[in-house]
Structure 1
Amino acid sequence: MNEFSKNLLFTGRWEHGKEYSRTSAPAAMVQFKAAAKSLEFELEGEARFRVDEDGKEIAVFTTNSKNVYKVKTTGSAGSHAYRLIKISESNPGGVHLYRVATDKSGKFEEPPKPSNRRIEFIGDSFTVGFGDEGQNGQDESLVFEKTNASKSFAFLIADGYKADFQVNAFSGRGLVRNYDNIVPEWPIPRLYEFTVPGEAPGDIANGIAESTIRYDFDSFHPQVIVLFIGINDFQGNPPYAKHDAFKKAYANLLDKLRKAHPGVKFLLLSTKVWPNDDLTPTVKAIYDAQKAAGKSDLEFMTLTTANVGLLGHPDIHSHEDMAKAIRPVVGRLGRWLSR
């Protein structure tokens, strides 16, 4: 890690270099404790960030070219817990974090300790929180401003359990077929292999060896993985994913995750998709086949979503409803429910 990282706790997939740390993940987060009147974040890359003090939002700002972004704290005495949350998606793209600093009179405390609860979310735009602060019918060019990953069901669940987490989700991407067959060579399983998947295609195109930018699966072992994949395989303009290919790819992903994280538990999610509503019966068939094969490490549930956000996506209220429905199942799988 770089020198400035010593006071920080990173959540989500980050790659750490000598000069900066970089990420492309929605809801990627940096946590620290400090007594300060103001904070400075040196960042580069197009993104939107939220800053919290003791769990309450105190600022939202947008980054692009390399710059130092200053945020005033509440100024109350003593040390406080801060977190910098990347609320936008980078697909493609990414952000570089060069430095976190306090004002001259401020000081950092010891970094927060990792949680003993760990969750991973793998999905598409529904998991990102795509357009959740917008409304259906608004100009689709507002996606960047209206996406807030910190209000997605994934973030709400992880935050509620005070769990360390990763949100590995990619709008428009599917398991074997992306929405309208966009960038067909980069579906979710391939993007998932890289630490900074939003920048991986460019890295590879510039001659960087894939082996040097692949994610180290030993760096984070989730106890629960929530899979909400397949929406883009079965909607948009046809042809859609072939059911057998989808089932095979899903089973292969489960086996890969079991091998990487022994003892992990899974929650398989589905919802209604248009026009044929193929996703739910297909995922249910995968679940049934897994149970018939003797697997006892997974559960399945369907979600009803009010897709009134931007471009027909769940809005923040629907994300709250999804989080409420999913939370007890995740708690049971992780054995985190209070007795």
Structure 2
Amino acid sequence: MRFMMLAVGLGLVAASAFTQAPPLAITRIADTPATLRALPMQVGGRTVEDGAQLLRQWPGTYFESAFHGSTIAFAVGKGRVHLTARVDNGTPASLVEPKPGLYRIAGLTPGNHRLRIDVVSESQAEATAFGGIFAPAGTTARPLRARARRIEFIGDSHTVGYGNTATSNTCTQDQVWSTTDTARGLPGLLGARYDADYRVNAISGRGIVRNYDGFAADTLPQAYPYATLDHAHPADDRGWSPQVIVIALGTNDFSTPLRPTERWKTRDALHADYQQTYVRFVQTLRARHPAARIILWSTDLADGEIAAQIAQVHARLRAAGDTRLSYAPVHKLGFTGCHAHPDTADDAAIADAVARAIDADPAAWKG
């Protein structure tokens, strides 16, 4: 978990570009750096320093600060993004595609508070920027309590929360984007359940060796070493030491038929490549985090092919001597989110299944 202090470096003009959810009163304001002080900030997820801002592209990024006062501000940078802001345990307020600028939350009860800004949308097309959290006059910084528990999530759209708040399976791409909420999906649910910091390294449509319908792009293991998907910034994971790693990959490898132009000529060949690559990927994670409890989970889609292949990966890893490893199959989901993806009720069922695997290990949080 990183602690940052950033200075304001944005051109700011008065306007309004958000969808507000009570009780927070959020306004976009004009201000100058001289009237604000950057607060220490806890950052969840991979980020890259870019002058006075942080760039981020993997989903589920969040930013937190603790303060004393009745007013707090934060700076939004470039890029299309859906954010939620929450003070303490209050109702999150949404900012959908906010313009770059400074945003103020005012009218809080004077006292000690904690502000959390979550990125809930997926950002495959480009990295977006966050400019920091700031104290206006009358607001002072307070120490941040570092959470003792840490979870890393690795996966595809089922981990991202693709279209999980939609009311229909039929969605345009804009509707998918606007109804995706990683904070209400598996990462947010388990993070809240265990009061854990978390990191989400997941990309919709990607697999272990094969992406959805065979489309050409990095697979998840190929993208994993980078902080941004263009490979411009290698990930700096120093200081990140998860006690639990939750992985779900295989939906995109197996949910569509092989095309004649793909390199696997038979399903058996795909299975062999998948198992070998998945085992190697998990062993790489194990080398970095030798004490972590690693949990593989799967749905029962694709007539059970996904679950059967992940069970084989689990068996091979166990046979190779990995004893801090669990497999959590999940059955009978509703898939009423966009394009037959898990909805928030499914996300809760998945979280319960993964939590049972975590709770079965008395030493899960001792790493």
Query: How high is the TM-score relative to the length of structure 1?
Result: 0.88
Query: Which residue pairs with 2:23 in the alignment?
Result: none
Q: Which moved more, 1:25-34 or 1:124-133?
A: 25-34
| Local SS of the residue matching 2:195 | coil
1:55 aligns to 2:89 (yes or no): yes
Determine if contact 2:39/2:65 at 8 Å carries over to the other structure.
no
User: Contact 1:224 / 1:333 at 8 angstroms: preserved in 2?
Assistant: no
Distance 1:73 1:85 in 2: 19
Name whichever of 96-105 and 221-230 sits farther off: 96-105
User: 2:282 & 2:184 partners in 1: Cα distance?
Assistant: 27
- Structure with greater Cα Rg: 2
Residue of structure 1 equivalent to 2:209? 176
Q: 1:293 pairs with 297, 312, 320, which one?
A: 320
Distance in 2 of aligned mates of 1:33 and 1:96: 21
Quick one: percent identity of the two aligned structures?
24
Contact 2:244 2:364 in 1 (8 A): no
Counterparts of 1:58 and 1:259 in 2: how far apart (Å)?
38
Question: Is the CA contact 1:43–1:63 (under 8 Å) kept in the aligned structure 2?
Answer: no
Report the equivalent of 1:251.
279
Aligned equivalents of 2:199, 2:163: Cα separation in 1:
20
- Partner letter of residue 66 of structure 1? P
Q: Could you say if the C-alpha distance between residues 175 and 323 of structure 1 is closer, same or farther in structure 2, counting changes exceeding 3 Å?
A: same
Contact 1:58 1:73 in 2 (8 A): no
Deviation per CA, 1:218-263, whole angstroms, max 9, x where unpaired?
2301111111111000013434670000001111111110111122
Structure 2 stretches of 5 or more lacking a match?
8-37, 260-266
Shift of 1:313: 0.7
Map of 1:196 onto structure 2: 228
What does residue 246 of structure 2 align with?
Answer: 226
Distance 1:135 1:103 in 2: 40
Alignment of 1:133 with 2:160, yes or no, is no
Secondary structure, aligned partner of 1:79: strand
Q: Given the alignment, which residue of 217, 236, 252 partners 2:237?
A: 217
Confirm or deny that 1:260 pairs with 2:292: no
Matched, 1:24 2:57: yes
Q: Is the 8 A contact 2:47 2:56 kept in 1?
A: yes
Q: In the alignment, which of 145, 148, 156 is matched to residue 116 of structure 1? A: 148
| C-alpha distance in 1 between matches for 2:6 and 2:235 | 22
Secondary structure of the 2:304 match is: coil
Measure the CA separation in 2 of the matches of 1:250 and 1:79. 46
What are the superposed Cα offsets for residues 13-42 of structure 1, whole Å, 9 maximum, x if unpaired? 111233211111222110111223342323
Amino acid aligned to 2:353 = A
> What's the counterpart of residue 137 of structure 2?
104
Deviation at 1:314, TM superposition (A): 0.8
Q: What per-residue deviation string (whole Å, max 9, x for no partner) do you get for residues 74-114 of structure 1?
A: 5112011110000001113121112322443323223x132
C-alpha spacing 1:190/1:64, structure 2 compared with 1 (3 Å): farther
- 8 Å contact 1:9–1:113 — kept in the other structure? no
Alpha carbons 1:21, 1:96 under 8 Å: kept? yes
Instruction: Give the match for residue 32 of structure 2.
Output: none
Unaligned runs of 5+ in 1: 204-212
SS in 1 for 2:254: coil
Cα distance in 2 between the residues matched to 1:332 and 1:117 = 16
SS of the residue corresponding to residue 273 of structure 2 reads: helix
Alignment check: 8 A CA contact 2:6 2:53 kept: no
Question: Of 184, 197, 204, which aligns to 1:151?
Answer: 184
1:209 match? none
Displacement of 1:73:
4.4
One-letter amino acid of the counterpart of residue 280, structure 1: A
The CA distance in 1 between the partners of 2:209 and 2:185, in whole Å, is 24
Cα RMSD over matched residues? 2.2
**Match for residue 69 of structure 1 among 103, 107, 111:** 103
Shift of 1:129: 0.6
- Residue 169 (structure 1) shift: 0.7
- 1:188-237 Cα distance to aligned partner (Å, 9 max, x none): 0111111123xx25x4xxxxxxxxx2112323011111111110000134
Q: Quick one: which amino acid aligns to residue 169 of structure 1?
A: A
- The one-letter code matched in structure 1 to 2:313 is I
Match of 2:114 in 1: 81
